């Protein structure tokens, strides 16, 4: 949607791939009602130009699904990025073999020439994996300081969260970007495909895959999504940047690191919980969410402690963890900068960068783009190291 300026770069990346045994399915889309909306009609027209460009320049292995032309756009009940991704992926699933790989991308994403090759190699090297969540990095937009500041702030939030989830060894320690996921067709079919949420479909999709089996969280290649203000989805990178640019980062806080330790203590207590009731750090939240008799049905249906632990992990999943963090953080007086400083000084105090940085003086609103980028890059390196060390979430 509205990717006319980015599609040539995307096609360049496709043409440059060293791995050639692939087919591409592109879903160009928007609600059909936008044709009658003067404020949105320009997007419809750009989408038509995108289709024309794809048809003119496409290689022989590219299929265009037109959910944009008048009468072909989404209706009032079925629209958004979730339906676009589902439409393309279901199309692939119908024609592909179980051993084929579905690799999802977005029109504003670029990638290196060996990207497809590395993904294919990963599924060969790790034959038991069901999917891959691929590392990412947002290049800074040229000449747009507001967008650069917003994406850096958002990445700092995302990477702080990911590092802490990786640090505690949580089974949901993944980052779900729609432009950075690959799975086998067999896995896609096994979980019933992707659920077409209007936003966050990538998160729920990866969570379903994680419950189904193991995830690979590291490759040597990255994807490079565009950093821009966008309201095409209801939440995610673009809307976060818009809200953040207006001064509202409340939906994307830097949580105190000890909240993650509480999550770890809860997950570590599942084995003991199989035998006796145990008051865990997340107990009050979970009882509020599910009721006081949460664990007994899981015990009764489990034939072993291992099965009970898996049931608990499926119940207290990535969504519940995010909800717990928000619940736990409600009313907190600590600032994002304070929480980041305490985390780095507590866990990475011996790093050269950490020693040189005056963390107590960091102010996300006032510090330079260069300083923000240095912090982002530092956390990105830490996340990459954790991903590479853990490799697989089981």
Mean pLDDT of 124-148: 94
Q: What is the pLDDT of residue 228?
A: 62
Q: What is the pLDDT of residue 145?
A: 87
Q: Which residue has the higher pLDDT, 124 or 81?
A: 124
Tokens of 308: 């009970």
3-state secondary structure of 129: coil
Mean pLDDT of 135-150: 91
343 occurs within a structural domain? no
240 occurs within a structural domain? no
238 has pLDDT over 60: no
Range name among 23-32, 63-72, 241-250, 364-373 with the lowest pLDDT average:
241-250
233 has pLDDT over 80: no
Show the domain range for 4: 1-79
Strand (E) or helix (H) holding 240:
helix 237-245
Q: What is the pLDDT of residue 198?
A: 76
234 has pLDDT over 80: no
With 0-12 / 13-18 / 19 or more C-beta atoms within 10 angstroms meaning exposed / middle / buried, residue 69 is middle
Task: Kindly list the strands in the beta sheet with 181-184, ordered across the sheet, starting from the edge strand earlier in the chain.
Answer: 101-104, 181-184, 131-133, 215-216, 392-393
Q: Are 173 and 215 in contact (CB under 8 A)?
A: no
State pLDDT tens for residues 176-207.
Answer: 999 999 999 999 999 999 999 877 899 999 99
Mean pLDDT of 66-79: 94
State pLDDT tens for residues 351-364.
Answer: 899 888 988 889 99
34 has pLDDT over 60: yes
Q: What is the pLDDT of residue 79?
A: 86
How far separated are the first and last CA of the chain, in Å rounded? Answer: 35
User: Which of 79, 105, 131 is at the close of a domain?
Assistant: 79
Mean pLDDT of 255-271: 98
Q: What is the pLDDT of residue 342?
A: 95
Using CA atoms, how far apart are residues 372 and 379, in angstroms rounded to an integer?
11
2 occurs within a structural domain? yes
Confidence of residue 77 (pLDDT cuts 50, 70, 90): confident
Mean pLDDT of 253-267: 97
Q: Which residue has the higher pLDDT, 122 or 239?
A: 122
Question: What percent of the chain lies above the pLDDT cut of 90?
Answer: 81
117 occurs within a structural domain? no
Domain count, the chain: 2
183 occurs within a structural domain? no
State pLDDT tens for residues 46-66.
Answer: 999 999 999 988 677 899 999
Q: Are 93 and 190 in contact (CB under 8 A)?
A: no
Average pLDDT value for the chain: 93
User: Which of 38, 55, 79 is at the close of a domain?
Assistant: 79
137 occurs within a structural domain? no
User: Which of 79, 94, 110 is at the close of a domain?
Assistant: 79
Q: What is the pLDDT of residue 293?
A: 87
58 occurs within a structural domain? yes
320 occurs within a structural domain? yes
Q: Which residue has the higher pLDDT, 159 or 251?
A: 159
235 has pLDDT over 60: no
Name which of 13, 8, 376 is nearest 179 in CA terms: 13
Q: What is the pLDDT of residue 249?
A: 67
Q: What is the pLDDT of residue 251?
A: 82
């Amino acid at each position: 949607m509205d990717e006319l300026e980015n599609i040539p770069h995307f096609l360049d990346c496709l043409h440059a791939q060293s791995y050639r045994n692939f087919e591409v399915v592109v879903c160009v889309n928007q609600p059909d009602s936008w044709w009658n909306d003067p404020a949105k009609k320009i997007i419809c027209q750009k989408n038509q130009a995108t289709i024309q460009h794809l048809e003119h320049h496409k290689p022989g292995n590219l299929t265009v699904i037109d959910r944009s032309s008048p009468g072909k756009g989404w209706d009032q009940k079925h629209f958004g990025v979730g339906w676009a991704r589902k439409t393309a992926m279901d199309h692939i699933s119908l024609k592909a073999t179980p051993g084929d790989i579905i690799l999802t991308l977005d029109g504003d994403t670029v990638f290196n020439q060996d990207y497809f090759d590395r993904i294919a190699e990963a599924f060969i090297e790790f034959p038991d994996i069901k999917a891959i969540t691929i590392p990412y990095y947002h290049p800074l937009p040229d000449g747009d300081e507001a967008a650069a500041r917003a994406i850096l702030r958002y990445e700092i939030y995302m990477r702080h969260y990911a590092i802490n989830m990786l640090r505690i060894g949580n089974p949901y320690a993944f980052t779900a970007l729609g432009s950075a996921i690959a799975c086998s067709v067999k896995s896609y079919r096994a979980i019933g495909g992707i659920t077409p949420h209007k936003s966050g479909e990538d998160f729920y999709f990866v969570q379903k895959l994680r419950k189904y089996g193991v995830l690979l969280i590291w490759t040597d290649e990255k994807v490079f999504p565009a950093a821009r203000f966008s309201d095409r989805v209801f939440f995610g990178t673009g809307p976060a940047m818009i809200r953040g640019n207006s001064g509202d980062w409340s939906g994307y806080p830097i949580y105190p690191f000890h909240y993650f330790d509480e999550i770890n203590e809860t997950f570590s207590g599942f084995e003991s919980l199989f035998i006796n009731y145990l008051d865990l750090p997340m107990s009050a939240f979970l009882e509020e969410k599910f009721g006081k008799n949460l664990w007994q049905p899981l015990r009764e249906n489990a034939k072993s402690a291992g099965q009970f632990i898996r049931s608990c992990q499926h119940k207290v999943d990535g969504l519940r963890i995010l909800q717990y963090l928000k619940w736990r953080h409600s009313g907190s007086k600590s600032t994002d900068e304070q929480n980041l400083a305490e985390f780095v000084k507590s866990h990475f105090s011996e790093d050269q960068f950490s020693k040189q940085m005056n963390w107590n003086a960091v102010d996300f609103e006032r510090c330079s783009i260069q300083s923000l980028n240095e912090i982002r890059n530092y956390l990105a390196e830490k996340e990459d190291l954790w991903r590479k060390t853990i490799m697989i979430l089981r």
